[in-house]
């Protein structure tokens, strides 16, 4: 009697609206061992929905675990790979280097493009423009991480590291090691030789592209500003020529005096009208050196002249030897290259007595 009642209850479960749920193979296997649970599912719709949700979550949990993600992104301040071997983008600016710790079967893309990719041991090197903000990572098996926003602002010639959180690899199947012994006829004779791995030769350092400078300059600090040009050519090192003049001229001088105005030779002090004439010019040649990023240092020597003359009451001009100087001129300053624009600032002196500050602006091509 009890067997007949149990069979009648099971048949009534199959006739309920939730009967299709019981046709799922997994549920059928579970409910075959728990008749009471099968009866409850047929009479409690809410319990059916709850159990189905748990089973679906359990089924899709392994698939969700197969996705990869970005674990960390950090600056490597002691890594000088991007500084020693710079890669230039289309704007002739040095790229930033991102070292992605992953296998070589990953693919990468950015809105500004990837200038160069290099597959190294255990990581992939990506040279990207310094304005890059988003990075897309793709894998043929694990999917895509699209438009990952870099947490740090990239800088030219700096190196960064990006590490990934990868799904756990399946355990390798055990393969028994086969030990085979060659016949005596094929055994090597004599002592075994040590085989060493071949190491490729280290490549030469990549040369920076040749660039030319043409700048207009102005000198300040004398009686009148001086105007001139500076032209140069450089890679990491370079040479330049510079010349400036205040566009003034001084008439012929007939006598000379010291700083106080006393005539040399006689020692007398004539009457001066107060009118002063001066002239300054200089020309130098020197070296250019790119220190870091787009900052350059320049310095050179050459010849310069500064002449100061006072007018006497009689109308003739007297050269002031105390304030005039001519001979060796030297200068020192810095350049900053902003794409195709170049700015400069520096100082120069004639005989280490007549100092002048300089400012310049020009083009690099």
DSSP string computed for 104-156 = TT-EEE-TT--SEEEEETTEEEEEE-TT--EEEEEETTTEEEEEEEPSS---T
d(C-alpha 16, C-alpha 9), whole Å: 11
- Break the chain into its structural domains and give their ranges: 2-62, 69-165, 211-364
User: What is the arithmetic mean of pLDDT over 145-152?
Assistant: 93
Dihedral over Cα of 92, 97, 102, 108: its sign: negative
pLDDT tens, residue by residue, 18-59: 444 444 455 555 555 555 555 555 655 666 667 667 666 555
Beta bridge partners of 242: 230, 284
Q: Give the Cα separation of 262 and 241 in Å (integer).
A: 39
CB 213 within 8 A of CB 342: yes
**What gap in Å lies between CA 100 and CA 69, rounded to an integer?**
12
CB 270 within 8 A of CB 312: yes
Phi/psi at 64 (5° precision): -70, -30
Structure tokens at 146: 């699209």
Of residues 309, 177, 171, 298, the one with CA closest to residue 248: 309
Do the bridges between strand 123-128 and strand 116-120 make them parallel or antiparallel, or are there none, so unpaired?
antiparallel
In angstroms, the CA 133 to CA 147 distance is 9
Instruction: Summarize the confidence of residues 164-180 as an average pLDDT.
Output: 62
353: pLDDT strictly greater than 90: no
H/E stretch holding 322 reads none
Would you state the pLDDT for residue 195? 46
Alpha-carbon distance 277 to 264, whole Å?
Answer: 19
Quick check: 240 pLDDT over 90? Answer: yes
Q: Write out pLDDT tens, residues 272-293.
A: 998 999 999 999 999 999 998 8
| pLDDT surpasses 50 at 205 | yes
Do β-strands 325-338 and 341-350 pair in parallel, antiparallel, or remain unpaired?
antiparallel
Average pLDDT for the chain: 81
pLDDT tier for residue 348 given thresholds of 50, 70 and 90: very high
Q: Which of 284, 300, 291 is nearest to 337 (CA)?
A: 291
Please state, in angstroms and rounded to a whole number, the distance separating the CA atoms of residues 279 and 362. Answer: 26
Q: CA-to-CA distance for 234 and 289, rounded, in angstroms? A: 8
Radius of gyration of the chain (CA): 42
Which one, of 292, 58, 93, 84, lies nearest residue 209 by Cα? 93
Predicted confidence at residue 65, as pLDDT, reads: 45
The CATH number of the structural domain formed by 211-364 is 2.40.160.20
């Amino acid at each position: 009697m009890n067997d007949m009642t149990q069979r009648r209850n099971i048949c009534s479960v199959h006739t309920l609206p939730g009967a299709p749920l019981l046709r799922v193979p997994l549920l059928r296997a579970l409910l075959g061992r728990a008749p009471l649970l099968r009866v409850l599912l047929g009479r409690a719709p809410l319990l059916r929905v709850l159990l189905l949700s748990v089973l679906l979550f359990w089924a899709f949990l392994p698939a969700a675990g197969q996705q990869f993600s970005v674990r960390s992104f950090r600056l490597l301040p002691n890594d000088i790979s991007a500084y020693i071997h710079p890669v230039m983008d289309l704007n002739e600016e040095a790229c930033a280097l991102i070292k992605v710790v992953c296998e070589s079967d990953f693919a990468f893309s950015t809105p500004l493009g990837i200038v160069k990719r290099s597959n190294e041991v255990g990581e992939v090197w990506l040279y990207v423009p310094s304005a890059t903000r988003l990075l897309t990572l793709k894998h043929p098996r694990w999917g895509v991480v699209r438009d990952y926003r870099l947490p740090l602002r990239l800088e030219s010639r700096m190196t960064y590291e990006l590490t990934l959180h990868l799904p756990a690899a399946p355990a390798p199947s055990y393969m028994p090691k086969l030990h085979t012994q060659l016949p005596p006829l094929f055994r090597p004779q004599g002592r075994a030789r040590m085989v060493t791995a071949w190491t490729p030769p280290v490549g030469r350092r990549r040369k920076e592209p040749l660039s030319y400078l043409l700048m207009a300059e102005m000198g300040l600090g004398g009686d009148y500003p001086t105007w001139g040009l500076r032209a140069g050519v450089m890679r990491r090192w370079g040479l330049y020529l510079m010349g400036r003049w205040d566009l003034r001229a001084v008439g012929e001088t007939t006598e000379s005096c010291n700083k106080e105005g006393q005539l040399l030779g006689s020692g007398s002090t004539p009457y001066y009208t107060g009118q002063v004439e001066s002239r300054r010019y200089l020309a130098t040649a020197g070296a250019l050196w790119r220190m870091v990023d787009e900052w350059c240092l320049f310095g050179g020597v050459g010849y310069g002249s500064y002449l100061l003359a006072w007018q006497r009451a009689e109308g003739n001009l007297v050269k002031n030897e105390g304030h005039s100087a001519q001979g060796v001129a030297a200068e020192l300053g810095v350049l900053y290259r902003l794409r195709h624009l170049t700015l400069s600032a520096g100082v120069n002196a004639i005989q280490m007595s007549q100092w002048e500050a300089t400012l310049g602006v020009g083009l690099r091509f």
